[in-house]
Amino acid sequence: MSKILNKNIPKLNFKDISNKYTDQMETNGISRREFIKFCTAIAATLSMPYSFASEIAKSISSSKRPTVIWLHFQECTGCTESLLRATHPTVENLVLEMISLDYSETLSTAAGYQVEEVLHNSVDENKGKFILVVEGSIPLAQDGIFCKIGNRTAVEIIQDIGPKAAATVAIGSCASWGGVQASFPNPTEATGIEEIYKMFNINNTVINLPGCPASPYNILSVILYYLTLNKLPELDKQSRPKFAYSTLIHELCERRPHFDAGRFAEQYGDYGHREGWCLYKIGCKGPETYANCPSILYGDVGTWPVNTGHPCFGCAEHGVGFSKPMHEQASIFSATPPVAFPEIEENKGFGITPGAAAVAGTLAGLAIGAGAMAAKHLGNKSQENEE
């Protein structure tokens, strides 16, 4: 994301943004230029033209705000922490201006009966209109007793609130398909939200945003897409938005040229590892994981695991992250490296030796003799056929 934001932004039509709104942003330390950069970056993340940035800006600055209910179940709160650390501008200020975050167990100042009352009132008042964000998996073992909030299990809560939402966003791998809690032997029977909806016949669209943690820019993009166009983005077969999960990490990785040239780190700390060569041989799962991590990066430091020297472990891919051993070599979908590569600097020869010339001459003589015998044999056959 930081790569995108540092580029020159073309002139767009942002005249419809209210002065009151921009004044309010500047009060919070967000300049108009930073706001425009943010909208342009979101448009780029969505694979939309730059002109779409002005539509995003209008939607954010309008009085229309979608209500968001954010539920926490079996998780570590890493996705929320990731969202709060998003930058350009800082989301902890901006997110409260562009959506109405009515309930979040992490961010709510109220507690106990008071916050539970806010939750139920918001759900009833915005039935069929609010976006439900779910962070964490739902345990099914022993009637779901491993996760309870307000004296209700996670299963009971999702059965109550899920059918009333306009759409459900499963943020993070835990909510998408169980994540780390669903690793073998999965004692709590941790289950993703989409599977829960199927089990209990809850008719509601689920958008999966896997990752550990999920990218904060991907969830912002989904919310802003819905806010701007009043519809959800196009999804793939795993209910992931195509703008974020349609390309293999391997195709976007800055180390890909080393893969193509056969330059691999063999172990941590060796010459190839220190020189930034491809991490495939020490377990990088980029060749079998679909996500946009290399292009949008994380936070204002503009980094992700691979450019810090650690292999991608496939946290965003069901059946890879938390399933395959971390250092097991990945299955390669797009290009398979040969068993052996030529050396980077090949040794040059100095002409053929007499012994090699003699062997070559013998082989050539045998080949010529064999060719002559084959020709004679074919000739005899041809004559027999004519007779």
Dist CA 252 CA 273 (whole Å): 19
Torsion on CA atoms 244, 46, 107, 198, rounded to nearest 10: -50
pLDDT on residue 193: 94
What class, spelled out in words, does domain 247-344 have in CATH? few secondary structures
What the block records as the tokens of 156 is 């009971």
pLDDT at site 211: 92
* In the chain, domain spans: 64-243, 247-344
What values do phi and psi take at 5, rounded to 5? -70, -25
380, 345, 49, 315: which is closest to 171 by C-alpha? 315
**Confidence (pTM):** 0.71
CA separation for the pair 145, 142 (Å, rounded): 6
- Predicted local confidence at residue 370, as pLDDT: 47
CB contact set of 97 (below 8 Å; sequence gap of 6+): 21, 24, 25, 60
pLDDT value of position 6:
44
Residue linked to tokens 């002005």: 54
Would you state the pLDDT for residue 295? Answer: 86
236/238 Cα distance (integer angstroms): 5
**What pLDDT does residue 53 have?**
75
- Spans of the chain below 50 pLDDT: 1-11, 89, 349, 359-360, 362-364, 366-368, 370-372, 374-376, 378, 381-382
Q: Are strands 206-209 and 138-139 parallel, antiparallel or unpaired?
A: unpaired
Q: How far apart are CA 189 and CA 182, in angstroms?
A: 7
- Give the torsion sign (CA, 301, 302, 303, 307): negative
Quote the pLDDT of residue 61.
Answer: 63
Q: Which CATH class is domain 64-243?
A: alpha beta
Residue 225, pLDDT score = 82
Whether the domain at 64-243 and the domain at 247-344 fall into the same CATH topology: no
pLDDT on residue 63: 59
